Structure 1
Amino acid sequence: MSALLLLCASHFMDAIDLSDVGVALPAIQHDLAMTSGSLQWIISAYALGYGGFLLLGGRAADLLGRRRVFMVAVAVFAAVSVLGALAPTGGLLIAARLVKGIAAGFLAPAALSIITTSWPDGAARGRALGWYATAGATGFVSGLVLGGVLTEVSWRLVFALPVPIAVAALIAAPRLLPADTPATGRGRIDVPGALTATGGLLLLVYAIAQAPQYGWTSASTGVLFAAAGLLLAAFAGIESRSRRPLVPLPFLTRRSTLRTNLTIFAMWGGYTSFAFLATLYLQNVLGWSALQTAGAFVPLGLVNGALAPFAGRLAARFGAHRMIAVGMLLLAASYALFFRIGPDTSFAAVVLPVMVLNGLGTACTFPALNMLAVSGVPDRDQGLAGALLNTSMQIGGAVVLAIVTAVVEAGQQGNSSNPSAGYDAGTAVIVGVIVAGLAASLLIPLRTPTAHHDPAR
């Protein structure tokens, strides 16, 4: 139980860092004189590092030792949090966020694979993943509230917020986490596969994130997409011939893996984009303070945190696929309700229902997707399975956020007199993405492989 508490603390730390930065964006933009396009990179740089290095991080955890990788990642996370708090320019702040994303790319699969290898498949693992999701939800709420409070003093304090948690985790990890087995440390990483996969994913996320600024059909965007495609194609060729592949190709061809990753791509893409869009709308259009905006998101996290411990058990009992479908329906309904927002919006009548439904949908969806992602996967590959899921999350966040940002900015061009222009179109994109994710979730097979089956089936 102590080990689970420590792993939940690491997830809590990561969630705090995600939510507290969002409410600080307008203050950062004003203080560092950043444009809207460059401001997006405070979010996108994190996704770039995270999404680009997750596969390498997951395999490193499996081969080099999960506790070892966890501790190194936490140490780097803490160090760059301090650097971000001290950054004198927007460029250095974005660089710190990039490195922090890379650290998270190693931290997340290491933490998740420790859970999935320490608790057996079924109700026990469902409970552990439920508490893990609760830690994320609680961290999200805490980040919003503390981010709003600290931003009133200085946005720089927001970036230092995860440091005490990271230090405590580093002190406790050697005593609480299971020791790495000797067999784990003898593995070797597929270097050519790691280079091509990481390079391809980095270029892909970068191409998506910069496309709204330079144009989706511009030559620079086309070159980036082409280079990413070539690297990923080279990666597939290398993996098909490697004796110790970074990602065994059967992982990518499992029907349950494909559909689970498509669903979380849509779920996290919609969630990330909504948080970004709603934060800017509440502060820039309605004139709310950072603290008021943070308070608007609190019901989302409270509902999520209250339900998530039970969601894993419910998914184990009634079927993860059913929980995912219900959760995606709730998420689609919550984002559709955001169409009702306007200059005279009432928190109780409009914002509160959106946040409550969103909290319910997230609680139903996230633990169940984590359960499906690792179901039937051998212990030696649990880090990789978690990394694939998190890679889909981060790429989904980058893709959908880039599209929504482009749609909102296009709607605002020529409508400077209407501060809310473009937001309805951005919301429509989010709803459409969630509906597409719901369609993918309905295709997830009713039965998933058990632990003794070949994961390629």
Structure 2
Amino acid sequence: MNVAHTQTGRTAPGAPRPGAALAALAAAQFTVMLATSIVNVALPQIRGGVGLSDGGTTWVVNAYGLAFGALLLAGGRAADLLGRRAVLIAGLALFAAASLSAGLATTSGVLIATRAVQGLAAAAIAPAALALAMEQFPSGSGRGRALGVWGAVSGAGGAGGVLLGGVLTQAWGWPWIFHSVALGALLVLAAVVVLVPRTAGRAAGRFDLFGTVTVSLALTCLVWGLTTARGAGWTDGRVLGALGAAALLFAAFTVIERRLPNALIPGRLFRTGRVAAGNLLMALLGSVWIALFYFLPLYQQQVLGSGPLATGAGQLPLAAANMLGASLAPRVSQRIGATATVTAALLTEAAGLLWLSRISADGSYLTDILGPSILVGLGLSIAFVQLTALAVDGVPREDAGLAGGLVNTTRQVGGAIGLAALATLAGSVTAHAPARESRLEALTAGYRTAFTASAATLAATALLALWLTRRSGSRTTDASAHPAADPQTV
């Protein structure tokens, strides 16, 4: 039982209030998401600052995403076994140190290495923070509001990173994008220490080191292969070798998990079918989500000619729509049901992406980006809230950190797969554009194709969600009304 609450569910005298704890935990999630996108606008300046090659520039982004995606399961299980609050605090301290080091880097090797350490720290922060947030709101409408806040800060972190990156790069230079993240992480660390109460006990069992190493290596090979495919192509020997190694390692991991009593991913996690459904749908949503924040800034800068600051500011309507959608998600779900809510949200986002597929080389922000960005933001946030609720619904308390790590892993891996596939598709369309088309027209044709494919993916995901959520018991996916396992009974 959480020591901040009495058995009647009221806050104990002198204990931090759940709302204040949620604010600190949501700030931790925002910081992780911010670091994912804050470098995107500043890549040209970073390249010149530390002497990066074309391939090295992409690894400023990839090193973070690779470590983050590969180690999330390990981070989630470590949080369950070592204590979520302790792991969160350690993760934030390491994140701040790595961010400061990245801002001070003078060589490409140091910068890429510190970005990888940032990703490692984020893999500890994200699942621990989500599990602690769910502990604060184990049931009822409070959980729906908590997940709404979680969805708002997750989406706003991605959009806010583009904005803040543009502002800081233009005002003080690229090192300040990392210095600001370091300062933010330290402030969040202080807030967690003061506002997040200590929880009672840790999960029983041992850390599955063999399984953890195997699945982490498998995820590393998978994400590395997919990100390398964007530049080298799908038939490159390194790409095929990495993907083949990932397949073998995943097969070995499956065998290992069936034989160990303290498996990293215990079978009980999937007994209801809701966790599996939530993670599959989250992977598909992630495949479009990450790519969106990759292609939109490129279109604004390379085709429309926007500077870093204008590109960042252009993300504000999307971020505002995202926060609005996340706040509305629990109420919409209560009114029309969880299955209808997630299906409608995915179709809304698909409509926005289909609208983006009409961008033109001689377009403008107002005519080509503003309207669809609002639709995308609304649909994305509502779908994220509902799928997160589905992926953690009914999970026993001792597995809450692992469930949080799993849903973050599927979103990251889905994002890596989607971005690799869509970037390759867009690049192929641009490369094979008719000779009569200008460079800007060729680039725009590639982006249009990527947005069209994204819309088709989400439309298919909506149909799959309609089937899976009904099949697994759609009533349990309502973020506002249904608890995970009562922590008092575990």
SS at match of 1:288: coil
Note the C-alpha offset of 1:143. 2.9
Partner of 1:264: 282
Cα distance in 2 between the residues matched to 1:366 and 1:429? 20
SS at match of 2:440: coil
Amino acid at match of 1:244: N
Partner of 2:456: 432
Correspondence 1:130-279 to 2 at 5 A = 130-153=148-171, 154-184=173-203, 187-252=205-270, 255-279=273-297
Report Cα offsets for 1:76-135 as digits up to 9, x if no partner.
Answer: 111111121122233432222222112111111000001112212331111111122223
Note the C-alpha offset of 1:451. 4.8
Query: Does the CA-based 8 Å contact 1:85-1:156 persist in structure 2?
Result: yes
Partner of 1:100: 118
Name structure 1 gaps, 5 residues minimum.
Answer: none
Report Cα offsets for 1:56-80 as digits up to 9, x if no partner.
Answer: 1111111110001100111111111
Q: TM-score, normalised by structure 1?
A: 0.92
User: Among 367, 370, 375, which residue is 1:352 paired with?
Assistant: 370
Amino acid at match of 1:145: L
Partner of 2:328: 310
Pairs aligned (count): 452
Partner of 1:419: 440
Query: Does the CA-based 8 Å contact 1:47-1:397 persist in structure 2?
Result: no
Partner of 1:126: 144
Cα distance in 1 between the residues matched to 2:333 and 2:108? 43
Cα distance in 1 between the residues matched to 2:128 and 2:457? 29
Cα distance in 2 between the residues matched to 1:303 and 1:250? 37
Note the C-alpha offset of 1:159. 1.7
User: Among 96, 103, 106, which residue is 1:78 paired with?
Assistant: 96
Report Cα offsets for 1:184-238 as digits up to 9, x if no partner.
Answer: 4x54211111111111111111111112333322332222122112221111111
Provide the alpha-carbon RMSD of the alignment.
2.2
SS at match of 1:357: helix
Query: Does the CA-based 8 Å contact 1:137-1:302 persist in structure 2?
Result: no
Query: Does the CA-based 8 Å contact 2:162-2:312 persist in structure 1?
Result: yes
User: Among 27, 39, 57, which residue is 2:45 paired with?
Assistant: 27
Amino acid at match of 1:286: L
Note the C-alpha offset of 1:157. 0.9
Q: TM-score, normalised by structure 2?
A: 0.86
Query: Does the CA-based 8 Å contact 1:320-1:372 persist in structure 2?
Result: no
Query: Does the CA-based 8 Å contact 2:94-2:121 persist in structure 1?
Result: yes
Cα distance in 2 between the residues matched to 1:292 and 1:68? 40
Name structure 2 gaps, 5 residues minimum.
Answer: 1-18, 477-482
Amino acid at match of 1:166: A
User: Among 299, 316, 321, which residue is 1:281 paired with?
Assistant: 299
Range with greater deviation from structure 2 (209-218 or 139-148)? 139-148
Distance 1:161 1:321, change over 3 A: farther
Query: Does the CA-based 8 Å contact 1:320-1:369 persist in structure 2?
Result: no
Cα distance in 2 between the residues matched to 1:12 and 1:147? 14
Range with greater deviation from structure 2 (47-56 or 415-424)? 415-424
Query: Does the CA-based 8 Å contact 1:127-1:310 persist in structure 2?
Result: no
Amino acid at match of 2:464: A
Correspondence 1:326-405 to 2 at 5 A = 326-405=344-423
Partner of 1:445: 469
Is the aligned partner of 1:9 residue 2:20?
no
Cα distance in 1 between the residues matched to 2:289 and 2:485? 35
Cα distance in 1 between the residues matched to 2:320 and 2:187? 25
Distance 1:263 1:148, change over 3 A: same
Cα distance in 2 between the residues matched to 1:420 and 1:48? 32
Cα distance in 2 between the residues matched to 1:174 and 1:65? 14
Cα distance in 2 between the residues matched to 1:257 and 1:36? 40
Note the C-alpha offset of 1:366. 1.1
Note the C-alpha offset of 1:35. 4.9
Cα distance in 2 between the residues matched to 1:451 and 1:10? 22
Amino acid at match of 2:440: P
Is the aligned partner of 1:290 residue 2:311?
no
SS at match of 1:79: helix
Cα distance in 2 between the residues matched to 1:54 and 1:316? 31
Range with greater deviation from structure 2 (175-184 or 145-154)? 175-184
Note the C-alpha offset of 1:41. 2.5
Query: Does the CA-based 8 Å contact 2:322-2:380 persist in structure 1?
Result: yes
Distance 1:395 1:252, change over 3 A: farther
Query: Does the CA-based 8 Å contact 2:304-2:364 persist in structure 1?
Result: no
Distance 1:161 1:209, change over 3 A: same
SS at match of 1:419: helix
Note the C-alpha offset of 1:29. 3.7
Note the C-alpha offset of 1:141. 4.5
Cα distance in 2 between the residues matched to 1:52 and 1:31? 28
Note the C-alpha offset of 1:137. 3.8
Query: Does the CA-based 8 Å contact 2:360-2:368 persist in structure 1?
Result: no
Cα distance in 2 between the residues matched to 1:317 and 1:451? 21
Distance 1:136 1:215, change over 3 A: closer
